[in-house]
Every structure is written in structure tokens, then in C-alpha cells.
Structure 1
Amino acid sequence: MILSQAIAQLKFTKQSLRFGLKYSLLSSSILFCLQHGHAQQQSAIETENVVNQKDVVQLETVVVTATRREQSLQKVPVAVSILGGRDLDEKQQNSLEAIVKEVPSVNFNATSTNKDSSLFIRGIGTISTSPGVEPSVSTVIDGVVLSRPGQATLDLLDIDRIEVLRGPQGTLFGKNSTAGVVSIVTKNPTEHPSGYVDAYLTDDHEQRIKLGASGALIPGILKANVNALLSHYEGNVYNYYSGKNVNGYTTQGVRSKFEYNPSDNLTLGLSLDYVHKESNAPLGVLVSSDNTDYIQTIAPVVASQQNRTVNSREETVNDTNQGISLSADWFLDQHQISSITALRQWKNVQSPNYNYLPQATTQFALLYDRGEVDSRQFSQELRIASLGDGFVNYVAGLYFSKNNNDEKTQRYAHWYDTGTQAYADDYALALFGTKSTNYAVFGEGTWNLSDRLRLITGLRITRDELSYYHQRNSTIPAALVSRNSIRSSVANSGSTSETGVSGRTGVQFDISSNINTYFTYSRGYKGPAYNVYFNMRNIDTPVIDPETSNSYELGLKSQWLNNKLRLNLAAFYTEYENYQANFRVVDSGGGISTRLINAGEVSTKGIELDGTYQINPNLRLNLAVANIRARIDHFQCPPADSACPNVNGKPLPNSPDWKLNAQVSRYIPIANNRRIELSSQYSWQSKTQFDIGQNEQTIQPPYGIWNASIGLNDTASDWKIALLIRNVLNKSYNARLATASYGLFRNVPRDDERYFGLSFRKDF
């Protein structure tokens, strides 16, 4: 099928995916019911499994695909954090947002709508709502790169592991990975029949159930799995206007994989996934305000640091994320040829209420939107990788992607006109979007100069073609463009193209069989962008220059005490030029707007530690610490900004200087193959600035969250029941702080207060 046909057929993706997923669910369920015997095939890649034979206790070898080939974590010259799928299931962590407490180098830019949320690694991430900007942190699912930052908020289902690659990874993972990569690897089908049921219930009315089945449809030739998710949460913010809780969600999802082996050296795969989520997070919850009239208008809301109430029209987000991918792996004598072809679609409909009001008054307008996103992408990657341990081990490939992003935003303003002494309405409709095409050729090789010394070289050449369109029809006359945050009618379009180079070079040296060191230099590249958004003006039409980075990293990976103790260290320094970010601008007339700019030069440097100590078969300690200083070196003020602050030397947003995660896991064996499992986890971070403009009100003070659990596990019958306590010390904190016209507002996180959960899992 030619590319234009493939893109045209994206509008039929939802129906075809639903049919395919229903078929896979039916076939796998029949397989599960008819085949005899119950045998669970454990994944060969579990992050913290223990080998215990003849009283020898060791940490199991962790295998990753960080270099597009399977390698031991301790041998790969990249700073990588691994999160096992089973461990995430036991903690009931079901989204990428949850990993920020597990991996100290990762942070999350939280907003009320997932369209504008994004991941940060080592202090660098995407601060923009424009569809013309790529994420700095690349999210990859089974080798398929997601094109928009908001897609990274998807729910996790049937995860084998998550690999967090820290620092620029542009050589092998593409140009939109200048800060790092979050690679999600889902579970493959098993040959033997297996299945599971995982249920979760909390005392504040969150419910979740996951179930799945796997096995051979044709023994030795065709196998499949299917997994389903249903979840609901009422929310932890009370809305006086509607009389019910908000900040909750309802999710339904299905994922299925088929694996076909027509011969011993050829494997074909088909993956389908569909997740639909409805949520109602408020745009903001009032923390403080000096406007007494506004406080009276939203009463009985009482502003405070721990406020969890609003009085406003309900805000909703309707989100659908779905995709289909075809993979092929052909094994030759000395090489593996791999192909991944994928179609994905992301639809998002949101209804934010900007003035946080239940209704308009003579003093305050009611301003709200209905925004629609339709993002479609097609990608094709072809790779060849060497097998075995020759003088040079390499991977090379070609990549192509085409992305269409269309958005529709309708904005309404209901306000009191003092001239006519009557309420009036303003309205505007904007249609805008982008089209991008990306071509790349890449390769990376490891030259084995000796048994202990290796040279690393890699290069990627990328060609970007980007265009945009924007048209807004408005009832606002040109003379009153600042009224109610709706600007006058306008139409613009443009296009650009760039060729960028990224790559990596370095050396790797084995001090001993258990101690490995490396030093690398990486060049990162993120392509050009346009500031395309609802209130786009003529001043926003110039292209935003590509963002580039130069990164230096020194790493040490080691195992001690007969492989009971694993200690990995990384020290890095990275400079970014033409950093792409949104910045709040005050124009000459006093109007405030948000513009995408090349913010200038920023840098990030620090030290990261990952440690695991398996003291004995029943006691394990984990510690991860990151000291990262992400700073603005030279800020480039936007043109015509009448009040640009001096932010040089100040921290980048969403990046605390210190973060740590410590966990103790204790197992107490009891009779009949059962054991009690105790877990205690503590995550802490230093103060965090949420605003690149360095607003003193938007600083989150240091805080720590303590989670704990106690469970009973029957290893013979493969079931486990556990009591989970989240936020034991009942510590309130902010997922985000932002100022608006009437005060300071916060986003309330899921674990803003203590709650209890009961989980049950049965494996078949």
C-alpha cells in the first residue's frame, strides 16, 4: 500500500482495531479454556530476580535493548534505569507519570489535560502546547516512536519492562530524543497456556481490573496473547458546582499480540492496542488570591496550600490512543534484519474552563474552550544488526515517518458589557495543524580493539519537512483584541525543511569482569518548529530554529560481593543551543500571551547512582539518587516583550536539584509455600520551580512521599493479596503550580493525601 493510501486509511483505524482486538480476545479466550495444564512462562528479562542455587544468592543478569540489540545492562555504555513490569503491577503503578518516583532523573510536567503534559529527563523536556513541536523525551512502544508529548500519558498494560535511557539518544532512537528515551517493552505471547487476573480497590473509590491470556493457537507456529483493562476513580477534588468529586477518570483498554514463526529463522509479529480514557481534572485549584471579589464569587471554596475544592463548570478530557504495528525479524548466519511498520492515531477532546468560575458576573467573564486533536502517524523502520562477537558489532538502518496533526478549538466568552449593561458573548473558531515528514539513515558500531577495550561510533542524518496552517474566525474586532483572551480573525500558513546530524562516539573499558567504564560524547538534534496555537498571531509565524545539544558522559557499571551488589554511576554535562520552550510574554499594551521561542542556551549537569543489594534471598535494598543542576545559561528574550525578566543562572522548570528513591523489600517464608511480603518505599526531592519565568509563587518546597505494603504470596498456587498504603505520612504537595489572572492555582496529584488499597493477583 502506498503511503498516501496508508495515511488515508487512518480514519478507519478505530473500527478495524476494535474488530481485531475483539477477535484476538475471543481466540485467546477459547485457547485458554480448551487447553489443559497451567504453566506460567516467566519473562527472561526481570529486573531484580534472584538466582538461589546451592546457597548462592545473586542478582540475575538484566538484558536490555538500549542499543537496538539485546545486551546485558552492565555491558551497555548508556545510563539506563530499568523498571520491571511485575514490580509495576505489584505497586499498582499504571501510567508513565508514576515512574517519576522510581527514577530520580525523570520528572513530569503535569497539566489538567494530557495533551499538554510531558516527560522530562535530566531537567530537559518539552514546554509547549503547539502541535508543531516534537517532544525532547522520546516515548517508544515496542520500537514505535510516538510523535506527540501528550501520548506519553497512556495507561500501561501488559508491560514486560520499561527502559529509561538518560541523555541524548538521537543516533538510534531519532531526532526527538535530545533529553532521553522511555522505551516500553510489552510482553510477548507464550507457547504454553497462561493467564492472569489482577484486581485493585482503594478506600477512596478507585477500582481497577486487568486480565489476560496467552498461548499457542498452532503449537510451534502461531501464538497470541490478549490483555484487557478497566478502571475508574471518582477523584480527590470536590466541585461545589456539580456536587460531586472530580479529578478522576474512567479507562478501558485492550492490547493483543500475535507471533507467527513460518520457519526457524523468521518471526512475524502483529500488535494491536486501544485505550480510551475519560477524565475530569480541573484546570486549577485555588491556592491563594488577593482579589476578594473573586474569592467571594467562587465561595464556598477556601484558598489554601491543601485546597481540594473548586466551584466551576465541569472540565472533561476524552482521550483515545490506538495503534497497529507489523514486525519482522529474519535471522541469517551472522545478521538479523528487522522491520517495524506502524500506524497510530491519537484523538483528544478537552473542555477547559479558564476563569475557574461557576458562571459569569458583572466583574468576571466566563471563558471556556472545546478543543479537538486528531493526530495520525505512519512510520517504517528497517534495521540490520550483526550477531556474535566479531571485531565490529553494529546496527544500521533507515527510518521514515509521516505525521498529520489537525486541531480545532472553539472559544467562548460570556461577559458583562458595562456600556449596554447587559451580558454579551464573544466567539472564535480556529482550525490549525501541521504536517511533518522525517527521513533518516543511521548506524552505530562497537569496535572490539581488545578483550577489554572498545571504541563506539555512531551517526544519524535526518531530513525534516514541516508545514503548518492556521485560520481563526472571531467576533472580536481588531481594536479589542485583548478583550476576553480572544484575538481577531487571522489566517497564516508556512513551511520549512532542515537537515540535521546527530551521533555518538566514545570508548569503553573493562577494569575487570564485573567493573565496566565508558566515556561518550553525544550530539543531539531536534528539528524546526512552529508556534501553532489557538491565539496565533502574525508575530508567531517565523520558524523556530532546531534545538541541538552536546553531551559528555562518564559511566561506571559494577557488580560486587559475588554479584549480590550492583552499583552503577553516571556523571554528565550537556549544553543545549536554541532551546525550544514556551514563555509568558507581556506586550507593549500590557496584554499577556504565551509564545514558543528559541529560549537561548541552557545546560544540565549532574551525578546519578543506581544501586541494588540482595543481602539474602529474603531481603533486598534498592537506592537511586540523582543530583542534577539544570540551569538557564543565556536567555534570549522574545521580541517586543516589555517585561522580560533576567533568568540567567536560574533553574529550568520541573527539575529539582536532588531526588532519591529508596526501597526495602522483605520476605518472610511461612508454611505451605507461602510467604509474607513487606515493602517500604520513600521518595524525596528538593524544591522545584514550575515556571521558566522564575515566578516566586510557583516553587514547590521540598517534600517526601512514603509508601508501604504488606502481602501474602502463595508461590505454589501463584496468587498474591496485598494491602497498600500510599502517602503514609499524609503529605500534601503540588503536581504543578501556575499563576492566572485571579491568583495562584495548583494541580492536585493522585496521592495528595493518604489512602489505602487492596490488590489481588492470580496467575494461571
Structure 2
Amino acid sequence: MQKKLLLLAFLFLIGNIYGQQIEGVVRNASSGEPVPNVAIKILDASGGTVTSENGYFLLEVQRLPARIQMSKLGFERNEVTIQDSGEQQVFYLIPQPESLSEVVLRSTIIPNELRETPAAVSIISEQDLQRFDETNLVQAISTAPGVYVHQGALNTNKINIRGIGARSQYSSNRIKAYFEEIPISTAEGETTLDDIDQSMVERIEIIKGPTSSVYGAGLGGVLNLYAAEADEPGTTVSEKATFGSFGLFKNSIIAKHSDESTNFVLAQNHLESESFRDNSDYERDSFSLHGKIDTKNGSYLSLLAQYTSLMAYIPSSLNRETLENDPTSAAFTWDAAKGYESYDKGLFGVSYRHLFSGDFYNTTSIYMNFRDAYEPRPFDILKEEQVATGARTKFNLKSTFLTLESEWSLGGEYYRELYDTSTFENLYEEFPDRGSVPGNSLSNNSQDRSYYNIFAQWNLSLSESFSLEAGINFNSTRYELTDLFNRDMVDQSGEFEFESIWSPRLGLVYEIAEGKSIYGSISHGFSTPTVAETLTPEGLINTELEPETGVNYELGFKGNWLNNRLYSEVAVYSIQISNLLIAERVAEDQYIGRNAGETNHNGIEFLLNYNFNLLSGIELSPYVNGSLNFYEFDEFVDDGINYSGNDLPGVPKRSITAGFDLASSAGLNFYAVFQHEGEMPLNDANSEFNDSYNLLHLKSSYDFALFDLFEAELFAGVNNLFDTQYAASIIPNAVGFGGTAPRYFYPGNPRNYFGGVKLKYLF
């Protein structure tokens, strides 16, 4: 009898190990909807199944853990390891680019499918981010139609959207950026994406054109970054090392955990490079945490924390002759002063979404950030300290209006930033070969800057194929200046406030056929002057500056073709800007801001994404997008010279990105990206131009399993395959002093290589 019981127990144990059933549901990662007809395959074994209409599947496996693959045309393939056969598990598939129309946008305050949104929104997916060497997010952002990025160095990037922000000298402004609904732009609208490591980002949504009805001051648009999450149940730890030309080394250690109620990602990233130019060494360390905890009844708590430490030398810009003959050199004064920037920067935020009912919920976020920076420059040494706090809340309610379906959103945002800045003499010329040496104090100011937005939006379904979107925002921005520098006998202390601004928006969408929509919208936007624009080189403040304002008129088409394998977009827009803020150069590398004239930003954007099975188990996804730009001064007189009718400097007249992604079921992937940037005016007079150029980037990777719980990835690539010599960034309206030629240009990287390995362990 005892032997029989032992035999039964043994058979029961074997049955549990070798005869398990996996029960699960597959959902769309963007919309949360079940995905039917997903092919489920057991890797390294026989067997499989297909999901039902509600995304459900039941799969028999011989033993655990088991590695399964989920695939369906229009979605990125997902492979996961199943540790046990407990309760029903939920898995997610990410829509591929050609299925963008089905993606539910999270950056609109009322979530909606892309095709049903009356705005031009570019989505940078996780697959798009994998096409490059993963050293900088702006590489992928620069491929979006209507978006141009000046990439002077890893720490010198300027983003302009539809030409707005093109006149910025060294940083991105006139746009706003959020990471999981937490602002990463400063109170003045200056944005630095260099601190966000790509390993922590799953998706980027770029709303192009004025977005003030939702986000306040953002004349050019807004970038919303969404954090990477654990995409399979259990715990994983991975390490990814990248090596490349010019001393490139990047190492990422990432831990992920997911269960029924929690999802956490913890990452440590190190990036360093010697670059190909003198005085351009770069080193950055960052620590990041993102987590989400489901509470009950659809409510959840999420948190985000990040710390960055940066040390980056600055080679600065070159004149045309040096660009062509000696692009590896640094500007003489910056090289002599060993100019650099260093800072410690932190970000922390908590967000809670509470579901009152199926039709009513609230999302509230509170956050704070800080920055402690030191920047020796040839003309002075700058010290900055920033601390900011804020909160954002919105209520969403679905209801009926005269029997028509509608949804309301009402909310507000408050942001306060304390900004202390001081400058000192740089005595590098008196101490040769020592680099920058601080001298006497030149200025010392403290600025308390704050703004608040109150916003509302109403979406109304007028019929099954016709919908309306209306929104409005009220903004109030103020700042208080405390002048702590008494040596000049001028006290600029005082309170200043920009005029309050109402920004309305109206959009209409009409579905002309299944999967095809046309839309039209009118929206108002504005941007307030930055601190750098309000301050003169002597540290005085210009209180006469007014915000830039603009109105965007837009018509567009979004639609699927060929059985949803081809997705297309076309947008035609016109933006009129008033109170244009310009940077007037008054000395070498020194500028003052002032309002001058009006500009017209007219353009056409287009996008095509296609996906098909090239061979059995091999998918090919070609794509092409681009923009034709007609940006010009409407009325602009500067220092007695009339520039009206001239092209706006700092933006190429045309941009085209084309390429393809190739993915195989064997784990081999290949990416090719071609970029063309057209001729670009360098100054308001249109007397000098940056030549057009073409770039080709290639990358390949191979994913494979080492053992049951170990996965590996090998990858390699080349940037600028044909070794094109070009200017990757320009300084508009550069002026030469002392008989020297204007230093317009930051040279782009020559041909360079990278490669590496990733190891992943599944607990």
C-alpha cells in the first residue's frame, strides 16, 4: 500500500512538471483590448494554439519553465518565459508602425485612437528606438516628420518642431516635454532630453504645433515620454554593454519585476565617449526607477525617480573653413579655457489614478526636480542652482449630451521653480594650460518663477463617423527677481508678470471610409521668454519682452490600406507667429533676446509605413516620411534692415527619412535608416547656407537563448556609412568678431562603428 501511494505521488509530481496547462489572455499594449487570432508557439518544442475572439488561450506544455512566442501580423513579436501554471496570466503585444491608427494616445488628456485625433501626432515606438546605437534619444526623434534636431554633441541638442525653436542658440525651447506626465522642461520651457537614458523609455508621442490648450506654454509642441515596463511575469536582470568608435562605451544594468499587482523597472546606466573632436570628452551616470502598483477596481499608483551626474566638455562651433579642413578641432577659446558643463540633476514624481466608476476617474501627479550646475565658458563662469516643485490633476467623465456620446476632461497644473544664477570672471588667459580659473563675481541673481494652467476639453461624437474636439487653457506666468549683486549699484529686484493668456483649440474628425479619416483643427499657442533671453550679458533683466504667440491651422488625412498592412498620413499646416523672440549677438558667444516681427510657418508632412511577410518567418517593414517646409519672415526689420520675405534660418527646406526593418522568427533583425536634409539658411539675410546632406545608418542584431533561463543578444552597426562630411548643428546668425569668420557650424560625426552584447537572466 505504501509503495502504491509513493508511486501515485511520483506520478502526480511528474504530471505537474511535464503535463502543465498555461492559461492566458493576450491584449493590445496600446489600447488594452483583447487580440484575437494570435499564434502561440512553444519554442524548442512542438505544440501551439491560437487565441480566441476575446484573446483567450489554453496551451499544453510538457514541462516548466517553458518559452513561448506570440505573433500576429501588425504586432511586434513577443517571447516570454512561463515559470508556473498558476492563475490566468495577461500578455501584451505592441502594435507595429503600420497599425498606428489603432494606437491609443496617452498624451491627449482624453485618450483616443490616433486615427480619431484631430492633430498631427508622431509616435516613436520601441522598435523605432532599436534602430540606432541607443546613446541618445534624439537620434530616433529626428526621424519624425516635421521635427528637426541639431545634434552638436551628446550634450548639445536642439529640437525644433515645424520650425519653432529653430532660432535657439544651444538648447531646445518653445516645446515642452513630460516623462510619465511629470514635466522635464523648466518653468521657462527649456527642455533637455540628454539625461533620459533610452533603456527607460518604451514610447514617445510628439504632438506637433501649438498645444497650449492642454499643456500651456508650448508653441512648437510637446514630447511625452512613457517609461519601459516589465513585459512578462516574473523577475529579470539584464546587462547590456556597447562599445564603439571614439572611445564609446555604454553599460546598462536593468532589473524588472512584474506580477498581478506590481510592475517595476530599476536601471543603472553609464555612458562615456571621447568623441572625434578636441575638448569633447563626455561622461554620464544615471539611476532610474519606475514602478506601478495596482490598488483595486482599476486604480493604480505609479512613481518615477531619476538621478543624473554629467561631466561634458564643450568644443563649440567652427567657421566654414575649419569645418571643411579641420573638423576635429575645437573652437580656439573653448579649447584654451577647457570649457565644459557639469551638473547633478534629479527628478521625482508620484502619480495616482483613481477610478470612481467605469465612466469617471481622476489622475493626480506631484513632482519635484533639482539641478546643480557649473559651466566654465571663455567669457565667464556660470553657476546655476534650480529647485522646482509642482502638481497636475485632471478629471475625466464620460456622459451623454442630447443623446450623443461625449467625454469631458477638466484639470489644472501648477509649477514653481527657484533659479539662482551667478557669473564670475574666467581668468584662463592669465593661467595658461590650466583651463578655466574663477575670478571676481560679475552677477548674482535669484529668480522665483511660477505658472499655472487651468484646462478643459470636450470630445463629442456627432455621429458614428463625425466627432468634435474643443479645448481651452488659461495660463498665468510670473517671476520675482532678487538682485544680489551690489557692485554695479543697479538693483533690478522686483516682481514681474506676463499677461494672462487664453488658448483655445477646435478640431473635427470625419471617417470617410473604414479605417480612413480626414481632420481639421485650429489651435492657439504661446511661449514665454527664457531666463537666458531676459538677461543681458551684464546680468541685467529685460522686462520689456513679451511671449511669442501663434495660431495653427491644419488639415490632414490618416488611413489604412491593403488590409491594414499600409498606414499613411498627410498633414498640411500654416502657423502664424507674432512677437517673434530673436537672439541678437552682442559679443563672442553672448546674446540678448528681444521681440521683433512675425513669421509664417507653412508646410506639408507625410508618412507611409508598410508591413508584409517577405518569406515564411521573415517580416519586412519599409517606411518613408518627410516634410516640405516654407518658413519665412512675414514682417521683420532688424537694425534698420528689412528681412521680410526671407526664409527662416536654422531649418532645412526639406527632410526625408526612409528605411526598413527586417525581423525573422530565428531572432535575426536588420535595420537600415536613410536621412536626407535639404539646404538650410544660416542667417536672416539668407546670404549663407548649410549644404544639403545624406546619411545612411545600418544595424543588425541576433537574439537567442543560451539556456532555459538565459537569453542573449549580439548587435553591431555603423553610423554615417558613406562617411559624409556635414554640419549636424548650426548657430543661426553667428557673427565674427575681430576680423574672424562667423562660427556657424558643429561638425557631424564621421563614419563610426558600434557593437555589443546583452545578457538576460529570468528568475
State the TM bucket, normalised to the shorter chain: 0.7 to 0.9
1:250 paired residue among 258, 283, 290: 283
Letter of the 1:76 partner, please give it.
T
Letter of the 2:695 partner, please give it.
I
Residues 552 and 573, structure 1, Cα contact 8 Å, conserved in 2: yes
What is the DSSP-based 3-state SS (H/G/I as helix, E as strand, rest coil) of the residue aligned with 2:391?
strand
Report the alpha carbon displacement of residue 168 of structure 1 after superposing the two structures with TM.
0.7
Residue 361 of structure 2 aligns with which residue? 336
Identity value in percent: 16
What is the DSSP-based 3-state SS (H/G/I as helix, E as strand, rest coil) of the residue aligned with 1:674?
coil
Assess, with a 3 A threshold, how the Cα gap between structure 1 residues 141 and 50 changes in structure 2: closer, same or farther: farther
Residue 207 of structure 2 aligns with which residue? 165
Assess, with a 3 A threshold, how the Cα gap between structure 1 residues 593 and 198 changes in structure 2: closer, same or farther: closer
Letter of the 2:535 partner, please give it.
Y
Q: 5 Å matches for 1:128-147? A: 135-145=173-183, 146-147=185-186
Residue 78 of structure 2 aligns with which residue? none
**In structure 1, what is the Cα distance between the partners aligned to 2:545 and 2:457?**
29
2:642 paired residue among 642, 646, 651: 646
What is the DSSP-based 3-state SS (H/G/I as helix, E as strand, rest coil) of the residue aligned with 1:172?
helix
1:386 aligns with 2:406: no
Residue 9 of structure 1 aligns with which residue? none
Residue 722 of structure 1 aligns with which residue? 715
1:207 paired residue among 212, 228, 249: 249
What is the DSSP-based 3-state SS (H/G/I as helix, E as strand, rest coil) of the residue aligned with 2:144?
coil
Letter of the 1:572 partner, please give it.
Y
Residues 462 and 468, structure 2, Cα contact 8 Å, conserved in 1: yes
Report the alpha carbon displacement of residue 629 of structure 1 after superposing the two structures with TM.
1.5
Residues 419 and 447, structure 2, Cα contact 8 Å, conserved in 1: yes
**In structure 2, what is the Cα distance between the partners aligned to 1:602 and 1:503?**
21
Report the alpha carbon displacement of residue 514 of structure 1 after superposing the two structures with TM.
0.4
Assess, with a 3 A threshold, how the Cα gap between structure 1 residues 648 and 613 changes in structure 2: closer, same or farther: same
Q: 5 Å matches for 1:563-574? A: 563-574=564-575
**In structure 1, what is the Cα distance between the partners aligned to 2:177 and 2:108?**
15
What is the DSSP-based 3-state SS (H/G/I as helix, E as strand, rest coil) of the residue aligned with 1:569?
strand
Give the paired residue count: 649
Report the alpha carbon displacement of residue 181 of structure 1 after superposing the two structures with TM.
0.7
**In structure 2, what is the Cα distance between the partners aligned to 1:78 and 1:206?**
39
Residue 400 of structure 1 aligns with which residue? 414
What is the DSSP-based 3-state SS (H/G/I as helix, E as strand, rest coil) of the residue aligned with 2:122?
strand
Residue 512 of structure 1 aligns with which residue? 513
1:409 paired residue among 423, 443, 448: 423
Deviation string 1:337-363 (CA, Å, 9 cap, x unpaired) is: 10010101123221123xxxxxxxxxx
Deviation string 1:129-170 (CA, Å, 9 cap, x unpaired) is: 79xx99311111111222152533323241010111111111
Report the alpha carbon displacement of residue 441 of structure 1 after superposing the two structures with TM.
1.3
Letter of the 1:345 partner, please give it.
F
Letter of the 2:374 partner, please give it.
V
Letter of the 1:143 partner, please give it.
E
Letter of the 1:224 partner, please give it.
F
Residue 492 of structure 1 aligns with which residue? 492
Assess, with a 3 A threshold, how the Cα gap between structure 1 residues 597 and 528 changes in structure 2: closer, same or farther: same
1:309 paired residue among 320, 324, 329: 329
1:447 aligns with 2:493: no
Residue 76 of structure 1 aligns with which residue? 117
Cα RMSD for the two superposed structures: 3.4
Report the alpha carbon displacement of residue 724 of structure 1 after superposing the two structures with TM.
0.3
**In structure 1, what is the Cα distance between the partners aligned to 2:131 and 2:632?**
36
1:689 aligns with 2:700: no
Q: Bigger shift: 271-280 or 714-723?
A: 714-723
Letter of the 2:362 partner, please give it.
I
1:319 paired residue among 343, 364, 371: 343
Report the alpha carbon displacement of residue 208 of structure 1 after superposing the two structures with TM.
0.6
**In structure 2, what is the Cα distance between the partners aligned to 1:711 and 1:261?**
35
1:64 aligns with 2:88: no
**In structure 1, what is the Cα distance between the partners aligned to 2:106 and 2:117?**
9
Q: 5 Å matches for 1:280-319? A: 280-288=313-321, 304-310=324-330, 312-313=335-336, 314-319=338-343
Report the alpha carbon displacement of residue 42 of structure 1 after superposing the two structures with TM.
10
Letter of the 2:566 partner, please give it.
L
Residue 429 of structure 1 aligns with which residue? 442
1:457 paired residue among 462, 467, 470: 470
Assess, with a 3 A threshold, how the Cα gap between structure 1 residues 656 and 57 changes in structure 2: closer, same or farther: same
Residue 655 of structure 1 aligns with which residue? 651
Report the alpha carbon displacement of residue 676 of structure 1 after superposing the two structures with TM.
3.1
Assess, with a 3 A threshold, how the Cα gap between structure 1 residues 122 and 448 changes in structure 2: closer, same or farther: same
**In structure 2, what is the Cα distance between the partners aligned to 1:267 and 1:675?**
35
Deviation string 1:83-136 (CA, Å, 9 cap, x unpaired) is: 12343145223334323531131123556795x854210000174579xx9931
**In structure 2, what is the Cα distance between the partners aligned to 1:495 and 1:118?**
30
1:269 paired residue among 283, 288, 302: 302
What is the DSSP-based 3-state SS (H/G/I as helix, E as strand, rest coil) of the residue aligned with 1:125?
coil
Assess, with a 3 A threshold, how the Cα gap between structure 1 residues 198 and 502 changes in structure 2: closer, same or farther: same
1:610 aligns with 2:607: yes
Deviation string 1:16-52 (CA, Å, 9 cap, x unpaired) is: xxxxxxxxxxxxxxxxxxxxx9x9x998249xx9987
Q: Gapped runs of 5+ residues in structure 2?
A: 1-21, 40-49, 51-70, 75-97, 431-437
1:704 aligns with 2:694: yes
The TM-score with structure 1 as length reference comes to: 0.78
Residue 630 of structure 1 aligns with which residue? 631
Assess, with a 3 A threshold, how the Cα gap between structure 1 residues 91 and 387 changes in structure 2: closer, same or farther: farther
Q: Bigger shift: 151-160 or 453-462?
A: 151-160
Report the alpha carbon displacement of residue 387 of structure 1 after superposing the two structures with TM.
4.8
Residue 601 of structure 1 aligns with which residue? 598
Assess, with a 3 A threshold, how the Cα gap between structure 1 residues 610 and 618 changes in structure 2: closer, same or farther: same
What is the DSSP-based 3-state SS (H/G/I as helix, E as strand, rest coil) of the residue aligned with 2:315?
coil
Residues 172 and 191, structure 2, Cα contact 8 Å, conserved in 1: no
Residues 343 and 377, structure 1, Cα contact 8 Å, conserved in 2: yes
Assess, with a 3 A threshold, how the Cα gap between structure 1 residues 402 and 518 changes in structure 2: closer, same or farther: same
The TM-score with structure 2 as length reference comes to: 0.78
Residue 89 of structure 2 aligns with which residue? none
Assess, with a 3 A threshold, how the Cα gap between structure 1 residues 577 and 393 changes in structure 2: closer, same or farther: same
Residues 647 and 686, structure 2, Cα contact 8 Å, conserved in 1: no
Report the alpha carbon displacement of residue 679 of structure 1 after superposing the two structures with TM.
2.0
Residue 755 of structure 1 aligns with which residue? 752
2:743 paired residue among 734, 742, 745: 745
What is the DSSP-based 3-state SS (H/G/I as helix, E as strand, rest coil) of the residue aligned with 1:337?
strand
Report the alpha carbon displacement of residue 653 of structure 1 after superposing the two structures with TM.
2.8
Residues 556 and 569, structure 1, Cα contact 8 Å, conserved in 2: yes
**In structure 2, what is the Cα distance between the partners aligned to 1:318 and 1:42?**
44
Q: 5 Å matches for 1:223-234? A: 223-234=263-274
Residues 501 and 525, structure 1, Cα contact 8 Å, conserved in 2: no
**In structure 1, what is the Cα distance between the partners aligned to 2:234 and 2:119?**
35
1:535 aligns with 2:537: yes
What is the DSSP-based 3-state SS (H/G/I as helix, E as strand, rest coil) of the residue aligned with 1:450?
coil
Report the alpha carbon displacement of residue 719 of structure 1 after superposing the two structures with TM.
3.2
Residue 8 of structure 1 aligns with which residue? none
Letter of the 1:316 partner, please give it.
Y
**In structure 2, what is the Cα distance between the partners aligned to 1:214 and 1:592?**
45
Report the alpha carbon displacement of residue 715 of structure 1 after superposing the two structures with TM.
7.3
Letter of the 2:730 partner, please give it.
R
Residue 736 of structure 1 aligns with which residue? 730
Residue 79 of structure 2 aligns with which residue? none
Deviation string 1:171-198 (CA, Å, 9 cap, x unpaired) is: 1122x21111111111245653234332
**In structure 2, what is the Cα distance between the partners aligned to 1:136 and 1:153?**
17
What is the DSSP-based 3-state SS (H/G/I as helix, E as strand, rest coil) of the residue aligned with 1:197?
strand
Residue 10 of structure 1 aligns with which residue? none
**In structure 2, what is the Cα distance between the partners aligned to 1:515 and 1:462?**
36
Q: Gapped runs of 5+ residues in structure 1?
A: 1-36, 239-245, 289-301, 354-367, 417-424, 475-487
Assess, with a 3 A threshold, how the Cα gap between structure 1 residues 125 and 528 changes in structure 2: closer, same or farther: closer
Assess, with a 3 A threshold, how the Cα gap between structure 1 residues 248 and 592 changes in structure 2: closer, same or farther: closer
Assess, with a 3 A threshold, how the Cα gap between structure 1 residues 636 and 647 changes in structure 2: closer, same or farther: closer
Report the alpha carbon displacement of residue 325 of structure 1 after superposing the two structures with TM.
0.4
Deviation string 1:608-656 (CA, Å, 9 cap, x unpaired) is: 111100022521111111112221111153xxx4xx4332122223211
Assess, with a 3 A threshold, how the Cα gap between structure 1 residues 609 and 471 changes in structure 2: closer, same or farther: same
Letter of the 2:646 partner, please give it.
K
**In structure 2, what is the Cα distance between the partners aligned to 1:453 and 1:466?**
44
1:376 aligns with 2:376: no
Assess, with a 3 A threshold, how the Cα gap between structure 1 residues 192 and 470 changes in structure 2: closer, same or farther: same
Report the alpha carbon displacement of residue 283 of structure 1 after superposing the two structures with TM.
2.2
Residues 129 and 533, structure 1, Cα contact 8 Å, conserved in 2: no
